Chains A and B, each alone.
Chain A
Amino acid sequence: DAGITQSPRYKITETGRQVTLMCHQTWSHSYMFWYRQDLGHGLRLIYYSAAADITDKGEVPDGYVVSRSKTENFPLTLESATRSQTSVYFCASSELADTQYFGPGTRLTVL
């Protein structure tokens, strides 16, 4: 039972490049979420999805794009990476918008 996985686990990129972070869950949970974790700010929601083809903005969506064509996948794309997007990114899922289960995280560095 793989649960929820993220790839890559570590990524270094340059300013202006497009980066896609992948999230995959095997539970067929309806809800999926993307958070970023930064010192001093804690965890903040970027985007979430209530089902395939249904997405909505969270607290800090600027500079990010999401899609959800399949229930199990929820990729996060940084269209033109900036240094301020250096962070640890967590994906999470839940069935009934209650208990959230987190992936292992992706540490992204933008040079």
Chain B
Amino acid sequence: GIQVEQSPPDLILQEGANSTLRCNFSDSVNNLQWFHQNPWGQLINLFYIPSGTKQNGRLSATTVATERYSLLYISSSQTTDSGVYFCAGRGYSGAGSYQLTFGKGTKLSVIP
């Protein structure tokens, strides 16, 4: 299966700062998603982004499929952005395979 690497593993930001989280894949993926796990454990889907760029408020994501990476941008960070950000992808491993492989996450702490 594919390998998913996320960087940085930990990030501390002052409120209002911007940040970029990165996700690298060992092979091509046909399904790439970003999730936020809040401090209470809830996993929220942020983006389904197999290629291109999407924006949702202060968050945006870009996937360059040919180079096997994706970036998540957080602008004007707020304390509510704290938590762990996961990316996940599914490789082209044959018909019927719907397994998403998750990275180990980036733990973001936004301090006031």
Contacts and interface: CB of A to CB of B under 8 A. Distances in A.
Interface of A: 31, 33, 42-45, 48, 50, 56, 58-59, 88, 90, 92, 97-102, 104-105
B99 A98 contact: no
B96 interface: yes
Given A48-B98, A50-B98, A97-B31, A88 B86 contact: no
A105 B43 CA distance: 9
14 contacts: A33-B100, A42-B103, A42-B104, A43-B86, A43-B88, A48-B98, A50-B98, A56-B96, A58-B99, A97-B31, A98-B33, A99-B33, A104-B42, A105-B43
Main secondary structure of the interface of A (DSSP, over half): strand
Interface of B: 1, 31, 33, 35, 41-45, 48, 86, 88, 96, 98-100, 102-105
A100 B100 contact: yes
Contacts of B86: 42-43
Contacts of A104: 41-42
B4 to A, nearest CB: 9
B100 A45 contact: yes
Contacts of A100: 33, 45, 100
B96 A98 contact: no
Contacts of B42: 102, 104-105
A97 B88 CA distance: 13
A37 to B, nearest CB: 9
B97 to A, nearest CB: 8
Contacts of B33: 98-100
A50 B104 CA distance: 26
